[in-house]
Amino acid sequence: MTIGAGGYPLVVKNPAAFSWRYPAVPAEIILGPYDGKLSDAGESLELSMPGDVDKEGVCQYIRVDRVNYSDGSHPEDCQGGIDLLPVEADGDGMALTRKISTDYGNDPENWTASAPSPFE
């Protein structure tokens, strides 16, 4: 999928239910169904874009952004022993949301727990 400047996709568990709940969201940005979940112990998510093709004909990808996710409750696994991501977004109805969408994704200070919304 190609994501235009300032655009974003939404990965959802049930696209039909999501579209019913949020009819103003364009169907072409809704991806799913998604049956997975992020590990509470932490995972790394990356957004990449195609770069140059090497001499073997393989396209090399350029990382655009990265987030080292955790559920906010694993200080023993974090640098400095502090897990700075909000625990409120740990499966109890709140969403993990960027405060400023254009700021670096791997800065825990740029994330907050908020009510789920397809527009944040």
- Whether residue 51 lies inside any domain: the answer is no
Return the number of other C-beta atoms located less than 10 Å from residue 100's C-beta: 8
In this structure, is residue 45 part of a structural domain? no
- 110 domain residue, yes or no: no
Q: Considering the domain boundaries, does residue 20 fall inside one?
A: yes
CA-to-CA distance for 15 and 24, rounded, in angstroms? 13
Tracing tokens 């640098």 back to the chain, one arrives at 79
Q: Evaluate whether residue 52 is within a structural domain.
A: no
Q: Say what the pLDDT of residue 10 is.
A: 87
How confident is the model at residue 57, as a pLDDT?
96
Task: Look at residue 96 and tell me if it is in a domain.
Answer: no
Is residue 60 assigned to a domain? no
Instruction: Answer yes or no: is 76 within a domain.
Output: no
- The 10 Å Cβ neighbour count of residue 87 is 14
To 5 degrees, how large is the angle CA 33–CA 37–CA 43? 130
Neighbour count for residue 78 (Cβ, 10 Å): 16
Smallest CA-to-CA distance from 22 within 32, 10, 33 is with 10
Please list the ranges in the chain whose pLDDT falls under 70.
72-83, 119-120
Q: How many domains does the chain have?
A: 1
- Residue 56 pLDDT: 96
Q: Give Cα 85 distance to the centre of its chain.
A: 13
CA atoms 10, 13, 14, 20: torsion sign: negative
pTM score above 0.75 = no
Q: 44 - beta bridge partners?
A: 68
> What's the domain range around 33?
8-37
DSSP state of 102: T
